[in-house]
Amino acid sequence: MSFWRTRQDAGVLLIVLAAVCFAALDLSIKHTAKMAPVLMLLWGRYVFQAVVTFALRFPVQRAALLRTPNPRFQMLRGVLLLITSACSFLALQYLPLGEFTAMVMLSPLVATAMAAWLLKNQVSTKRWLLMLGGLLGVLLVVRPGGQVFTWALLYPIAAVTAYGLFQVLTSRLSGQENPYTTQFYTGLVGALLMCPIVLLDWSNAALLAHWGWFLTVGFLGTFGHLMLIRAYERASAPVLMPYLYTQIAFATLAGWLVFDHVPDGPAWLGIAVIAASGVGNAVLSAHEQGRATRAKVAPVATD
């Protein structure tokens, strides 16, 4: 238990646990989508998060759980994450787990580019090169004639775009919101938006026959995001981000064990390039943060 005495190490363990949850979530979605409508799975995932977060946190925070200084931010953030989830749920019906996960993990690099464009953040040449490397990795995975070259690639492209905007918005207003309040409103916005939409493809028979899978999808999504929150309470993003890329390995392993799918040679290379670009971006962020910290604490020279 000495591992847990170090906050940074505990954060690393929690982020890896989150990666396992997200890989298991995608696996569950891909499996259950063959038996139940995707819209119902998406509805159940957000209803579960809203209800469980409220049940666990309201006794602790009371009315503070519901107070937010940025209600429009909470709504927009919830919409962006719902779009991301919807595109992911749909994409998993057609794309292998490992390749899909690798493409989605390009989102931190996309968020960096969006921050440079929308927030006018300065982006170093090294970061632009890492983004170019990530894009080349994706092209290796989705090349014409490859295993995943299909119209369904539009789904992960939309998911990465929406999640990139989600990350930019979250970083722009970080520190202004209680993380559990954000967790609750994310689930609430998704649930409220899905309630009328799910009626288009509702099936009582599917819910009764596969209710266990609905609970599994809801639990994995909610627990995974909770682990993310707890991880970032213990360590900084540059420290944690490289470990989040273990999700690619977990998803690829699950795709092999459950669906007997193994990426081909170029796809393996592309997955490796995407992961290396993402880890490199996180390492670069850690170095930049370290330099900024040292600059703040450096003694000021006096005459």
Residue 292 has a pLDDT of: 61
d(CA 190, CA 166): 14
Q: How many CA atoms lie within 13 A of 108 on its CB side?
A: 24
Name the residue among 49, 5, 18, 11 with its Cα closest to residue 217.
49
Helices (H), the chain: 7-32, 38-61, 71-91, 97-104, 107-118, 125-141, 154-172, 179-198, 204-209, 211-234, 237-244, 246-259, 265-297
Residue 5 has a pLDDT of: 62
More confident residue, 51 or 146: 51
Residue 220 has a pLDDT of: 95
Residue 301: pLDDT band with limits 50, 70, 90: very low
Residue 146 has a pLDDT of: 67
Name the residue among 102, 123, 101 with its Cα closest to residue 111.
123
In the predicted structure, residue 44 carries a pLDDT above the cut 60? yes
Residue 2 has a pLDDT of: 52
Residue 245 has a pLDDT of: 86
Average pLDDT of the chain is: 85
Question: 209-251 pLDDT, tens per residue?
Answer: 999 999 999 999 999 988 888 888 887 777 787 888 889 889 9
Q: What pTM was computed for the model?
A: 0.85
Distances (CA, A) of 277 to 124, 132, 133: 14, 9, 6
Residue with tokens 């209600």: 71
In the predicted structure, residue 302 carries a pLDDT above the cut 50? no
Most confident among 121-125, 143-147, 209-213 (mean pLDDT) = 209-213
In the predicted structure, residue 115 carries a pLDDT above the cut 80? no
In the predicted structure, residue 50 carries a pLDDT above the cut 60? yes
Using an 8 Å Cβ cutoff, are 217 and 45 in contact? yes
Name the residue among 7, 40, 1 with its Cα closest to residue 211.
40
Residue 300: pLDDT band with limits 50, 70, 90: very low
Domain positions in the chain are: 2-296
Residue 294 has a pLDDT of: 64
d(CA 131, CA 278): 8
d(CA 199, CA 189): 17
More confident residue, 1 or 10: 10
What are the residues whose beta carbons fall under 8 Å from the beta carbon of 2, sequence distance 6 or more?
none
In the predicted structure, residue 71 carries a pLDDT above the cut 80? yes
d(CA 83, CA 196): 16
Residue 303 has a pLDDT of: 39
Residue 81 has a pLDDT of: 92
d(CA 159, CA 84): 4
d(CA 89, CA 29): 7
Residue 299 has a pLDDT of: 52
Residue 297: pLDDT band with limits 50, 70, 90: low
Residue 282: pLDDT band with limits 50, 70, 90: confident
* pLDDT > 90 fraction of the chain, expressed in percent and rounded: 42
Name the residue among 39, 73, 98 with its Cα closest to residue 181.
73
Residue with tokens 């925070």: 61
Strand (E) or helix (H) holding 210: none
Least confident interval from 70-84, 145-159, 178-192, 283-297: 283-297
